[in-house]
Structure 1
Amino acid sequence: MASSQVLNFSPNPTFLNFSKPSLSSKFGFVLKPWRYPSPLILKCCSPLSRTVNEQLLQETIKGNAGDTSSIEVDSVTEAELKENGFRSTRRTKLVCTIGPATCGLEELEALAVGGMNVGRINMCHGTREWHKRVIERVRKLNEEKGFAVAIMMDTEGSEIHMGDLGGTSSAKAEDGEVWTFSVRAFDSSWPERTISVNYEGFAEDVKVGDELLVDGGMVRFEVIETIGPDVKCICTDPGLLLPRANLTFWRDGKLVRERSAMLPTISSKDWLDIDFGIAEGVDFIAVSFVKSTEVINHLKSYIKARAHNGDIAIIAKIESIESLKNLEEIILASDGIMVARGDLGAQIPLEQVPSAQQKIVQLCRQLNSPVIIASQLLESMIEYPTPTRAEVADVSEAVRQQSDALMLSGESAMGQYPEKALTVLRSVSLRMERWWREQKFHEGLDLPNIASSFADCISEEICTSAVKMANNLEVDAIFVYTKTGHMASLLSRCRPDCPIFAFTGTTSVRRCLNLQWGLIPFQLSFSDDMESNLNKTFSLLKARGMIKSGDLVVAVSDMLQSVQVMTVP
């Protein structure tokens, strides 16, 4: 391969200053400024370099004529890039809960075409055989249609919740009606207005006068009598009762959580579900009602010992007072966070939920952890084809906070308009992201240093500098070549104006990157030679019409400590 002429510059100290006293003291040694020739190089391609690359590009295209199969990207993203260009790509990722309304092959394909990045299966509902069929269909679509939809499995958790409603999909509780909550096991003869509860000590723990909240307060009851294993309650706030809904009870204005605190985070059923998820090769496992880091660390060890590649990411669901108290430690221990606002809103005052959400999102971004906003984003679209204006404002606020992902729950699982709900999330996300870029809010953002080693510190500085350069030069895209995904996540953390093309050789890493803001994951085999990688990438992407001559690209890699600015030949 012909060599290209490259101009080498030492790092601009405003971008790459490794003589900071804070870094010296942090790592226990003195850091001196880099001198020529620097191992940390900023490369700018000269006109001669571009000529040579054009030659190499034509040779590569000729040698690979008709063969673009060595690079894989989501077919929906590819179509968007071809039609509308770099700036049209959506940065916020979308998660859809799969249920009876969307479990068929055609329905799943419609969601994938509509922008679903991650499909969520909720182990609170359905059988393992049913979920297995859903996973198989998603994998089939990925293979045959060119999608890259990842799979997230959500555990049920061991908190108190309702059971099935005698085989019915839902029931309406009216104001003043008396309902019975019971721990008894019923056969086919299910008593009218009776709800089963999964916690055997339920009748002993509640007292007359306690307030019982269903699904975070969507329906409210007051306890009027306890008879053996049965608790009779009168409905004070009517609403729709759904199977497996969470139950909390309040006494004298305070949440009664002593029993919940004693229950294990991962139940015996959850462990069986986790084994199922490992066997099926899911990409994420979302753990319900995480209270501390111990369960996360134990689960990671459990998965590492049993999973084929050990690459299943752990998402901790923040939905309790205990999880808020231990928030930073939980974020650091897990691979991502889900803000489960429904259950969280049942444990803290409603007016505190928005500030809690913002705090969680900001802390996740500072600590470089992807965060999902979940629960009731477009709740009205379960029954109606258009959302309320308040719901659109809620979605816009989550996007404005620059959350990594938004999640549909009942809207896509059992709603009448799942595709329309997904379309609303997508369109609102695109509009708010465009507004954010126009306002240039990134200019005043200062992220703390989170590196735990000198090598990580270098990676962090490279990514920060690359994003500053990309924004200042108004480049079309950032290319990152990463084996583990870490360098790509650091770039995502900086929230650049342009999209990030993340190239990795591993399927599991590619799918996990599906959850992170602004990343477009590609699967590509690459070497340690950056020039070779770039020429190969340019040829493949140009052949597929995803980039064109004249596009400006910033390229970084976790194999070579460099930042390169290149024009596509």
Structure 2
Amino acid sequence: MRDKTDASTRAAEIHAEMMALRQAILTEAAQSVTAGQTDDLAIANLGHYLALRRHDIRSLQRRLMALGLSSMGRLEGRVLPTIDAVLSALSCLAKTTEKTPAMPLEADFFAGEARLEAESLALFGATPAGRRTRIMVTLPSQAADGPDLTLDLARAGMDVARINCAHDGPEAWRAMTAFVRDAAAIVGRDIKVLMDIAGPKIRTGAVASVEKKARLQAGDRVRLVASGAPRVDERISFSAAVSLPEMVTRLSVGDRLRYDDGKLEAVVESLAEGEAVILIRRTKSGGTKLKPEKGINLPDTALGLSPLTAKDETDLVTVIECADLIGYSFVSRPEDIDLLDTVLARHGLQDRPLGLIAKIEQPLALTNLPELMARARRRGPFGVMIARGDLAAEIGFERLAEMQEEILWICEAASVPCIWATQVLEDMVKEGIPTRGEMTDAAMAARAECVMLNKGPAVVEAVSLLDRLMGRMNDHMFKKTPTLRALKSW
């Protein structure tokens, strides 16, 4: 009798606490950035999720667990239904007469999952047999030379072919697209074409060094030049031109710089007319070679650049002609989506809207992610790519793991498909043998709706391996929820 009384008393206390939490969520969501889209159930749920996550409910979770109830740890796609189900169970335990929301129907409880699946179908096409996570592959330049590579990738399990518009040109892109369409017809599956416009990506141009094979080490200096040939001297042994000349003029002394997805970290030491000298603070063991066409990230520098360049506007003509999906680099604000749609309409895209993938690679995009999703969902099929290379270089490697989890949660709350990208099975793709760490990383990618592989000599084998791995993980996990199929190892 004592245990029953204690449980009833605890349930009554938690019931009152959760009713107050529910009301706070409703009040805060009504004032959030998502408040104007109450007709979109996914965005309404996102508002509830953001409001909930402003509260620390860790103590509440443990007390719910002790009563045998849901800890609410997997409610991303169903915030109010989960709270209402818990409240209904608490009211029974507490034998309270206080007004409690009705227990949600099972269909309503899992409606968020159904919305996410519908959005994934609209964006990526049919779900592959045996796995829910699609496989995207970046096509190399040689994919334009003939049909064999693309057909091999399709047979291995590729669901989306990615064309990086930072490389090659319209003739090659058209050839790649044609080979993808032919391969899809042969294997009997709908394989989508994603064309990724380059945006204002800052890269090294021509490079120079006093010694040809020299590698950058901590303590070395590099001269970055806005125009003209790179210039070295006795004091500064390395120099590089940059693809975006105005970058040099907007730097400040003390600004950090990361090179080639974080293989090197530096700080701006001095500035002069048309050039900046950076001091290397950290590099990988053995040093880093200064090469052309490598990315530069400036986490402290506000460049104020449009996400669409003149090259992008030209490339969009071919994108409209060939693609099913458009990858939008450096999108950071809701207005950036309006800008893209204006340009697409100007180039004649009207009756065949392209699916949109927003690449999250900058801190401002993280900050504005809820507004970006609320705006983009109104235009048609939409997804988010966690561009882990640039994102890590912008926010720091130590924060990447945390942020990729948060992006997955936010996307699930808004029923937005998510792509896990950058360096997935990187050693496997390049060398033919995966590392243990990257196999674990690839397995965790099963929580996303799509995982992206980069190009490399062993990419076909990597797709085949990933196809099998995703199939196995499909039996063990759905998003954050372990699915307890019978174990066969013991």
**TM-score, normalised via structure 2 length:** 0.62
Aligned with 1:138: secondary structure? helix
CA drift of 1:424 comes to 2.9
Are the aligned partners of 1:290 and 1:318 in contact in 2 as well (CA < 8 Å)?
yes
Q: Distance in 2 between matches of 1:363 and 1:241?
A: 38
Do residues 435 (structure 1) and 476 (structure 2) align? yes
Which residue number in structure 2 is paired with residue 203 of structure 1? 248
Q: Of 381, 385, 390, which residue of structure 1 is paired with 2:428?
A: 381
Q: Describe the shift of the 1:433–1:146 C-alpha distance in structure 2 as closer, same or farther (beyond 3 A).
A: closer
Which residue number in structure 2 is paired with residue 52 of structure 1? none
Q: Describe the shift of the 1:242–1:157 C-alpha distance in structure 2 as closer, same or farther (beyond 3 A).
A: farther
Are the aligned partners of 1:381 and 1:416 in contact in 2 as well (CA < 8 Å)?
no
Which residue number in structure 2 is paired with residue 394 of structure 1? 441
Q: Of 331, 338, 345, which residue of structure 1 is paired with 2:373?
A: 331
Q: Describe the shift of the 1:103–1:234 C-alpha distance in structure 2 as closer, same or farther (beyond 3 A).
A: farther
Which residue number in structure 1 is paired with residue 87 of structure 2? none
Which residue number in structure 2 is paired with residue 258 of structure 1? 302
The residue type equivalent to 1:337 in the other structure is: V
Which residue number in structure 2 is paired with residue 128 of structure 1? 170
Which residue number in structure 2 is paired with residue 424 of structure 1? 465
Q: Which moved more, 1:239-248 or 1:130-139?
A: 239-248
Which residue number in structure 2 is paired with residue 182 of structure 1? 225
Do residues 213 (structure 1) and 277 (structure 2) align? no
Which residue number in structure 2 is paired with residue 502 of structure 1? none
Which residue number in structure 2 is paired with residue 247 of structure 1? 296
Q: Describe the shift of the 1:427–1:172 C-alpha distance in structure 2 as closer, same or farther (beyond 3 A).
A: farther
Q: Structure 1 regions of 5+ residues with no counterpart?
A: 1-21, 28-41, 43-73, 78-87, 250-254, 444-470, 472-569
The residue type equivalent to 1:396 in the other structure is: A
Aligned with 1:258: secondary structure? coil
Are the aligned partners of 1:289 and 1:317 in contact in 2 as well (CA < 8 Å)?
yes
Are the aligned partners of 2:127 and 2:134 in contact in 1 as well (CA < 8 Å)?
no
Give the fraction of aligned pairs with identical amino acids, expressed as a percent: 26
Q: Distance in 2 between matches of 1:96 and 1:339?
A: 15
Q: Describe the shift of the 1:76–1:311 C-alpha distance in structure 2 as closer, same or farther (beyond 3 A).
A: closer
Q: Distance in 2 between matches of 1:172 and 1:354?
A: 33
RCO (CA 8 Å, sep 6+): is it higher in 1 or 2? 1
Q: Distance in 1 between matches of 2:126 and 2:390?
A: 36
Q: Describe the shift of the 1:297–1:185 C-alpha distance in structure 2 as closer, same or farther (beyond 3 A).
A: same
Q: Distance in 1 between matches of 2:242 and 2:468?
A: 40
Aligned with 1:94: secondary structure? strand
Would you tell me which structure has more helix in proportion to its own residues? 2
Q: Distance in 2 between matches of 1:102 and 1:111?
A: 10
RMSD over aligned CA atoms reads 3.6
The residue type equivalent to 1:269 in the other structure is: K
Q: Distance in 2 between matches of 1:144 and 1:397?
A: 31
Q: Deviations over 1:74-110 (max 9, x none)?
A: 9996xxxxxxxxxx61221000011135444211111
Which residue number in structure 1 is paired with residue 274 of structure 2? 229
Q: Distance in 1 between matches of 2:169 and 2:328?
A: 18
Q: Distance in 1 between matches of 2:154 and 2:472?
A: 20
Q: Distance in 1 between matches of 2:172 and 2:239?
A: 27
Are the aligned partners of 2:154 and 2:187 in contact in 1 as well (CA < 8 Å)?
no
Are the aligned partners of 2:256 and 2:265 in contact in 1 as well (CA < 8 Å)?
yes
CA drift of 1:363 comes to 1.8
Q: Which moved more, 1:348-357 or 1:98-107?
A: 98-107
- Equivalence map 1:285-304=2 (5 Å): 285-304=326-345
Which residue number in structure 2 is paired with residue 530 of structure 1? none
CA drift of 1:292 comes to 0.8
CA drift of 1:127 comes to 2.1
Which residue number in structure 2 is paired with residue 70 of structure 1? none
Q: Deviations over 1:19-71 (max 9, x none)?
A: xxx9xx978xxxxxxxxxxxxxx9xxxxxxxxxxxxxxxxxxxxxxxxxxxxx
Do residues 270 (structure 1) and 312 (structure 2) align? yes
Are the aligned partners of 1:152 and 1:282 in contact in 2 as well (CA < 8 Å)?
yes
Aligned with 1:347: secondary structure? helix
Q: Deviations over 1:215-258 (max 9, x none)?
A: 33123345555554344445541335565433124xxxxx3222
CA drift of 1:356 comes to 1.3
Q: Distance in 1 between matches of 2:206 and 2:165?
A: 14
Are the aligned partners of 1:303 and 1:312 in contact in 2 as well (CA < 8 Å)?
no
User: How many residue pairs are counted as aligned between the two chains?
Assistant: 346
- Equivalence map 1:33-112=2 (5 Å): 89-100=130-141, 102-104=143-145, 105-112=147-154
**TM-score, normalised via structure 1 length:** 0.54
Q: Distance in 2 between matches of 1:173 and 1:107?
A: 35
Q: Distance in 1 between matches of 2:252 and 2:350?
A: 49
The residue type equivalent to 2:302 in the other structure is: E
Q: Distance in 2 between matches of 1:297 and 1:211?
A: 31
Q: Distance in 2 between matches of 1:97 and 1:241?
A: 24
